[in-house]
Amino acid sequence: MSSRIEQIIEEIEEYVESCKFQPLSTRKIVVDKEEISDLLRELRLKTPDEIKRYQKIISNKDAILEDAQQKADAIIADAQAKAQELVTQHEIMQRAYAQANETVNAANREAQDILDSATQDANGIRLSAITYTDDMMANMGNILSETLEDAGGKYRGFIDALQSCLDVVNQNRQELAPQTAQAAAISNSYQSMPASEELDPEDEALLDDLDEE
């Protein structure tokens, strides 16, 4: 059974696959910010629980080793009891010693095998948990990187559009600058001339045009 985090990651991957490409682009896609934010928010909430679950699995290593140690101790104790039983019998003393030593040695070997196997199993569980968690974080990092790249592209596009508008405004002002300077000169001349003197028809028409603008 897959975890909820795996399900969320699959949903994010399916959602990204279903998104449409931006116009004139084969890499950048259009993302519904609210939908992707909801998935990432749930992923962020579920991640601590998932990590705790794998930490619990890792902590079971101690329980596995403790159980193995108990089994090994029980085997050794049983072997020692049997050895003691043998050596108490005077008529088979020499054989008892040999059998006792062999029994103890065999018990030690079996106990060591159990400990080695338990240690290997515990390390395997721990490695699997760490590997899975790292893969999960890698997938999250890829998704966040793609989202950040897409957002940066949109922001740069907005800045380019504003710069284009500013360039048009500045160009229009430059085109109007000669007419504005001419109108200012005519206006100053008009204000300084005597009241009886009439303004040149062309200058008067230019002033009327600028007033209308």
Q: Which amino acid is at 51?
A: I
Q: Is residue 157 part of a domain?
A: yes
Residue 203 lies in a domain: no
pLDDT, tens digit, for every residue of 182-202? 766 766 765 665 555 555 566
Q: What is the pLDDT of residue 193?
A: 57
Q: Is residue 194 part of a domain?
A: no
Residue 146 lies in domain: 4-165
Q: Domain for residue 83, yes or no?
A: yes
Task: Please indicate, yes or no, if residue 21 is contained in any of the structural domains.
Answer: yes
Domain CATH for 56: 1.10.287
CA distances from 3 to 8, 14, 82, 133, 170 (A): 9, 17, 50, 12, 59
Is residue 61 one of the residues assigned to a domain? yes
Counted domains in the chain: 1
pLDDT tens for the 213 residues of the chain, in order: 457 778 888 888 888 888 888 888 888 888 888 888 888 888 888 777 767 676 667 777 777 778 778 888 889 888 888 877 777 777 777 877 788 888 989 989 998 999 898 898 878 888 887 887 788 778 777 887 877 787 787 888 889 888 988 998 898 888 887 877 776 676 676 566 555 555 556 655 655 655 555
pLDDT in tens, 93-114: 787 778 888 898 998 999 899 9
Write out the two tokens for 174.
Answer: 């430059």
**pLDDT reported for residue 1:** 44
- 176, part of any domain: no
Spatial separation of the C-alpha atoms in residues 206 and 118, rounded to whole Å: 99
21 bridge partner residues: 29
Task: Please report whether residue 189 resides in a domain.
Answer: no
Token digits for 47? 């991640």
What confidence score (pLDDT) does residue 109 get? 92
3-state SS track over 74-121: HHHHHHHHHHHHHHCCHHHHHHHHHHHHHHHHHHHHHHHHHHHHHHHH
